[in-house]
Amino acid sequence: MGASKMTDPLVIASGVGKEFPGGVQALTAVDLTIERGQFTAIVGPSGCGKSTFLRLVAGLDEHTSGTLSVDGDAPLEARRRRGDLAYVFQDATLLPWRSVRRNVALPLELRQQSDEARIDEVLATVGLSEFADAIPAQLSGGMRMRVSIARALVTQPGLLLLDEPFGALDEITRQRLNEELLRLWERDGWTGIFITHNVYEAAFLADRVLVMSARPGRIVADIAIPFEHPRDADLRHQPPFAELAREISEQLERAHS
Amino acid sequence: MNTRALITQIGPPLFFFAFFVLSWYALVEFFDIPPYLLPGPPRVAEAVSTHADRLIDAALLTAMGALSGFALSFAFGFAVALLFSQSRIIERGLYPYAIFLQTVPIVAIAPLIVLWIGYGLQGVVAVSFIISLFPIIANTTAGLTQVDPRLLDLFAMNNANRWHVLFKLRVPNAVPNMLTGARISSGLSVIGAIVGEFFAGYGTDDFGLGYLIIQTSGQAKTDYLFACILFCTLLGLAIFSAVGLVSNRLLRRWGGE
């Protein structure tokens, strides 16, 4: 496959399958390698198991066949040992009784750390400094998602797993958050795996887009996205971008049938 | 604006109260009902003013029994719920017996409790405790165990230990349920204290409303009995409103997403 000639793999999946109790086969034989520092998007029809795959990488679920390693270990061990995996959920998933600031502080608290300066910094990064003392119920959907991203970034993760984080937002908010996320990646260089069913989002953010088939999911296409960094909003209006988005769409359509 | 809000708040209940008292008065006068069966409002008012000191003392003693019973239920019920939340097996094993607290007729076992625990305040507190325990256990257990699975995933991603999950997630998550339980229990604790006093009366010098009810009904002093019932109602209302006030205040934080 195209982009796999690099040298430093972080996530290696080989023949990974997941069968849920009751016999539902969510994934069959997923083969992929994700390089350190790479931003990979996985697109696929809804229900194809792409979120399931992300949960396997996070060590939140266990695969039932094949081998899957993160940084040379089983996912759960890797997560425990490294302590720098972060997961951004489809919904903001905030603690409703905590202020924005205390929500962002949570991952530090759970590591018995406190670093108010770092919290200020990530709140500024996502543009929420003024809302530090608000509670989630007072925020819009886009702002809550920003809090969620700030919370993921506060521990300076090495591997960021994003499970359709912007799926519930309106298009303008989604595009703006895409740009912000990309800027953060360009600055900090974490490894990112981004689940989405939006081909434009995938092409805009990622270095590489993997297309998954309908359930049971497996990887059916691996498309390199060659655009230079830093990318800006203007990229969306350029013909090569439209061309690539169309290619991903076609692959996705083929994956549906 | 503020007085207007107050009027719309307390106006309607006040109106119906006046309506009720007037109908009651009219009924007694029109049908010429003898006072030992149903005294009119003026007679009850007279009984209240004649026996005001004794009624207030009795209400305070009953309040002490009820509040002690309620406080014990809250503390013990919370502890039991914590235990249930930590072990499915313990919960499954003991929950049926917790339901027993709910279904057993308190008047049937109150004499037994008094026999075991002793007369006077301790017997009253014990009856109040037993009748008000179950709502605390049931509601707190529900709040501790019914946690958004994504929040559990979030804690897992941060390698949170069991105590962190309990005290930073489950307990705050259970606060609204605990307050619901407390509201139900506070009303029950007053009933428990009064029923307790039926059997564990303190004697002729020092007595609560329950004892007074038995006394006055035995002597066919119906107007005095009505005054007792009025005080029971007021006491229940006072405790219920106090708990309601505290819980509304706390719940503003928990406003929910």
**Verdict on whether the full-model pTM lies above 0.90:** no
A contacts of B247 (beta carbons < 8 Å): none
Residue B228 covered by a domain: yes
- B93 burial class (0-12, 13-18, 19+ CB within 10 angstroms)? exposed
Across the interface, of A60, A87, A136, the residue whose CB is closest to B257 is A136
Q: Helix, strand or coil for residue A164?
A: coil
> pLDDT tens for residues A169-188?
889 989 989 998 999 999 99
Question: What is the rounded average pLDDT of the residues B188-202?
Answer: 88
Top-confidence residue, B251 or A17: A17
> pLDDT tens for residues A153-170?
999 999 999 999 998 888
Residue B15 covered by a domain: no
Phi and psi at residue A79, to the nearest 5°: -65, -45
Q: HSE on the CB side for A167, CA within 13 Å? A: 17
Across the interface, of A83, A89, A144, the residue whose CB is closest to B150 is A89
B15 pLDDT more than 70: yes
- In chain A, at which residue ranges do the beta strands (DSSP E only) sit? 9-19, 25-35, 39-43, 65-70, 85-88, 159-163, 191-196, 208-212, 219-224
CB A210 within 8 A of CB A221: yes
Mutate to test the interface with B, among A73, A76, A89 (most CBs of B within 10 A): A89
Determine the straight-line distance between the first and last CA of chain B, rounded to whole angstroms.
29
CATH of residue B87: 1.10.3720.10
Domain count, chain B: 1
Chain B residue with CA closest to A59: the answer is B157
Q: Give the position of tokens 């005080």.
A: B231
Which of B14-28, B155-169, B199-213 has the least mean pLDDT? Answer: B199-213
Report the alpha-carbon distance of residue B256 to residue A90 in Å, rounded.
18
Q: Do A97 and B154 touch (CB under 8 A)?
A: no
Q: Which residue(s) pair with A221 in the sheet?
A: A211
Residue B80 covered by a domain: yes
Report the alpha-carbon distance of residue A135 to residue A96 in Å, rounded.
7
Residue B223 covered by a domain: yes
Residue B136 covered by a domain: yes
Instruction: Tell me what percent of the residues of chain B surpass a pLDDT of 70.
Output: 96
pLDDT at B257: 35
**Domain containing B104: what range?**
42-251
Residue B169 covered by a domain: yes
Number of residues in chain A? 257
> pLDDT tens for residues B219-238?
888 999 999 999 999 999 99
Q: Do B257 and A144 touch (CB under 8 A)?
A: yes
Q: Do A83 and B159 touch (CB under 8 A)?
A: yes
B46 pLDDT more than 80: yes
Residues 6+ apart with CB under 8 A from A105: A114, A119, A154
Determine the straight-line distance between the first and last CA of chain A, rounded to whole angstroms.
22
pLDDT, averaged across chain B: 90
- A193 burial class (0-12, 13-18, 19+ CB within 10 angstroms)? buried
Q: Do A95 and B150 touch (CB under 8 A)?
A: no
Q: Helix, strand or coil for residue A117?
A: helix
Residues 6+ apart with CB under 8 A from A142: A169, A170, A173, A176, A177
pLDDT at B203: 67
Residue B126 covered by a domain: yes
B95 pLDDT more than 90: no
| C-alpha radius of gyration, chain B, whole number | 22
Largest CA distance in chain B: 76
Q: Give, in order, the Cα–Cα distances in Å from A227 to each of A1, A124, A203, A239.
A: 18, 28, 9, 12
Phi and psi at residue A228, to the nearest 5°: -70, 150
Strand order in the sheet with A65-70: A25-35, A9-19, A65-70
Which residues of chain A have a Cβ shorter than 8 Å from any chain B Cβ? 55, 58-60, 79-80, 83, 85-87, 89, 91-97, 106-107, 109-111, 135-137, 144, 155
Report the alpha-carbon distance of residue A100 to residue A151 in Å, rounded.
9
Largest CA distance in chain A: 51
User: Smallest CA–CA separation between A154 and chain B, in Å?
Assistant: 12
Across the interface, of A93, A135, A144, the residue whose CB is closest to B150 is A93
Question: What is the rounded average pLDDT of the residues B191-202?
Answer: 87
Mutate to test the interface with B, among A62, A73, A106, A161 (most CBs of B within 10 A): A106
B contacts of A58 (beta carbons < 8 Å): 153, 157
pLDDT tens-digit profile, chain A (257 residues): 444 455 789 999 999 999 999 888 899 889 999 999 999 999 998 888 899 999 999 999 999 999 999 999 999 999 999 989 999 999 999 999 999 999 999 999 999 999 999 999 999 988 899 999 999 999 999 999 999 999 999 999 999 999 999 988 889 989 989 998 999 999 999 999 999 999 999 999 999 999 999 888 889 999 999 999 999 999 999 999 999 999 999 999 988 76
Q: Which DSSP string corresponds to chain B?
A: -HHHHHHHHHHHHHHHHHHHHHHHHHHHHHHT--TTT---HHHHHHHHHHTHHHHHHHHHHHHHHHHHHHHHHHHHHHHHHHHHHH-HHHHHHHHHHHHHHHHS-HHHHHHHHHHHH-SSHHHHHHHHHHHHHHHHHHHHHHHHH---HHHHHHHHHTT--HHHIIIIIIHHHHHHHHHHHHHHHHHHHHHHHHHHHHHH---SSS--HHHHHHHHHHTT-HHHHHHHHHHHHHHHHHHHHHHHHHHHHHHTTT---
B42 pLDDT more than 60: yes
User: Smallest CA–CA separation between A60 and chain B, in Å?
Assistant: 7
Q: Do B158 and A107 touch (CB under 8 A)?
A: yes
CB B25 within 8 A of CB B41: yes
User: Smallest CA–CA separation between A74 and chain B, in Å?
Assistant: 15
H or E element, residue A206: none
B contacts of A59 (beta carbons < 8 Å): 156
Q: How confident is the model at residue B111 (pLDDT cuts 50, 70, 90)?
A: confident
Which residues of chain B have a Cβ shorter than 8 Å from any chain A Cβ? 148, 150-151, 153-160, 164, 168-169, 172, 175, 253-257
Q: Do A97 and B159 touch (CB under 8 A)?
A: no
Q: Which residue(s) pair with A41 in the sheet?
A: A194, A209
User: A16: closest CA among A196, A221, A220, A218?
Assistant: A218
Q: How confident is the model at residue B255 (pLDDT cuts 50, 70, 90)?
A: low
Residue B69 covered by a domain: yes
